[in-house]
Structure formats: structure tokens, C-alpha cells
Amino acid sequence: MATDTNTSTSYHHGNLRQELMELAEKHLVTGGIGELSLRALAREIGVSQTAPYRHFKDKNALLAALATEGFRRFFALCEASENEPRADLSLLMFGLSYVQFAKLHTEMFHLMFGPVLQPRNDYPELFAAGREAIYKVRAGVERGFKTNVIRQLDDVASMAHTVWAAVHGVATLMLDHGDTYGYHRDLDLQAEKSLRMMIAGLCTDPSDISKLPTTPSPAAE
């Protein structure tokens, strides 16, 4: 009887969807997502085992919603880079934010960009969030073209994907191969050096952006 009451309360108050996502994220962080199921989450929350299906058709739908929320958090972290008027610094700040997000929210990062939720177009909101992320890079590259800060080595889309690939590579090496990637024994410093060198190669005048720091900038910490 108590279970029915809890189910009704969660459902009518509109809290169950959020509770499911929060509990799923808890499992994600603690490494238990492989054994996760909607029915198991329902038991933990104390609702009927069919109640979660009012909100998610299956486990992957729940994980897609969680990954979409991860993109929202990432976008909030990127706001400063979007407000930076200089295109080269904007791309650097985006890259630093990307790496920082990956470091602080590693499990969420792997969910957002890993192989679990494929193909992405099966999850429209997640697919749209991913497109929004690359569009932010495209906007920075396009601004660089217009202000003659970034060399037009190719079209905007191709260059944006190249920047994305480089930034993602830095983040992935930092997470998965920190013992060999961290040549300076400071992963934040190495990440910033790598990003600066990559962006310098795209600049019409790399003299400023290519100045390699001896300590990570505040944005990289």
C-alpha cells in the first residue's frame, strides 16, 4: 500500500522523472550503470516497477536524458568563451572549458560522447544538444574568419570539426592516458599548452596565443 502512495505522490507532483535521473547519475558516478535498470531504480525510489515507464521507454532513454542534461551543464561552463570578443581566445577558452568539464564530470563526459547511446539520432534532444555544441565551435571559427584572426584553411564546418577533434583528443588523453600525456607532470598545464599550439596554427598572427604558460591559466584550473 505504501508503494502505491509513493507512486501516486511522485507521479502527480512531477518529481519521479527528476528522481530517476538523479539516482541514475548517482549510479553513473559510482560505476554501477552497467547493471542499471528502470525496475531497479523504481525499487530504490520506492515506486511501482512500471512507474518509470511513464517517463522513459527504456534505460537508454533515461541515459539519453541524463546525457542531454550533461550538455546543458557544459554549455553553462562555456558561457565565458562565447562572450570573449577575440576569436582565438574564445576557441582557447572553449577548449579549456571542455577539458575542465571532462575532468570534473568524467563519467558524464563518457556518457555524452561514448558509444552507449548510438545512433544519436534515435534520441532527438541529445542529438540536438550535440549539434549545438559543434555550432558553438563553428561560430568561433566563423567569427575568426570575419575578423581575420583565423586563417581560412578550409570551410567553416571542416575547420570547426578539426578544432573539435583536437580538443576532444586532449580531453581524452588527459582522462585515459594521463601518465604518458602529462609530460610536465601537470595535466592542466599540458592541456593548455596543447590547445594553444593547436589554435596558434590556425591564426593569422599566432604571436599572442602561442605564448606557452609556465603555470595553467585560471581558466584551466
pLDDT along the chain (221 residues), means of 10: 42 75 94 85 92 93 96 96 94 96 95 91 95 95 97 97 96 90 81 95 94 80 53
pLDDT value of residue 7:
43
Instruction: Identify the H or E element spanning 113.
Output: helix 106-113
Between helix 106-113 and helix 16-30 the angle, nearest 10°, is 110
Full-model pTM:
0.88
Cβ atoms of 184 and 212 closer than 8 Å: no
pLDDT value of residue 221:
53
pLDDT value of residue 196:
96
pLDDT value of residue 13:
42
pLDDT value of residue 62:
96
